[in-house]
Amino acid sequence: MRRTRWETLVGVALVVGVLAALLTMRLDRSGPGMPRVAWPVAVVELLIAAVVFAMGWAVRQFLRGKRPGLDPIRAARTAVLAKAACYTGALLTGWYGGQVVAYLGDSAMPANGGRAVSAAVAAGGAVVLAVVGLVVEWFCRVPPQDDEKQREPGVTPDPAAS
């Protein structure tokens, strides 16, 4: 599995952010608008990030030899969970960030200030989730095996065989 590139996550967040801003502005013009983001959203995002980090820390300790046994399936699941956290964080950052932009752009409504703050807090939690996902992916990488140690002494590798 290849590591997630931060550039990809930024691209996902930007695309989703633009779509969320357009949708939020359209809904605000045509009706009651988007519901206010509840404050527990950021708490849940941070809780998920903490669980992902704890699972990744266990894998890191195993790879450094500080934890005696770790099920390989658990390590693989942790790596997949980290990738999911990256993309979920990027999607939610775009979603809530787009709402922030839309609310700040339409300051005529007095309620938009509170909506913008709650969406910004949720976007901040989503950024933390994405960053933790990237860090845990880094924790889960297995160091490459040294081909030099596996070769017989005195045998020169054939460059054409590579």
Instruction: Read off the pLDDT of residues 85-119 as tens digits, 9 standing for 90 and up.
Output: 999 999 999 999 999 998 888 766 667 788 889 99
Domain that holds residue 88: 13-28+37-142
Q: Does residue 7 lie in a domain region? A: no
User: Residue 82 in 3-state DSSP?
Assistant: helix
Highest mean pLDDT: which range of 31-40, 42-51, 59-68: 42-51
Q: Does residue 60 lie in a domain region? A: yes
What distance in Å separates the CA atoms of residue 27 and residue 80, rounded to the nearest whole number?
35
What distance in Å separates the CA atoms of residue 23 and residue 115, rounded to the nearest whole number?
15
Vertex 120, ends 114 and 121: CA angle to 5°? Answer: 95
User: Residue 152 in 3-state DSSP?
Assistant: coil
For the record, the structure tokens of 144 come out as: 């490459």
- What stretches of the chain adopt beta strand conformation (E)? none
Residue 150 clears pLDDT 80, i.e. is over it: no
Q: Total domain count for the chain? A: 1
What distance in Å separates the CA atoms of residue 123 and residue 44, rounded to the nearest whole number?
12
Residue 135 is predicted with a pLDDT of 94
Q: What global pTM score does this model have?
A: 0.81
Angle between helices 72-105 and 40-63 (to 10 degrees): 150
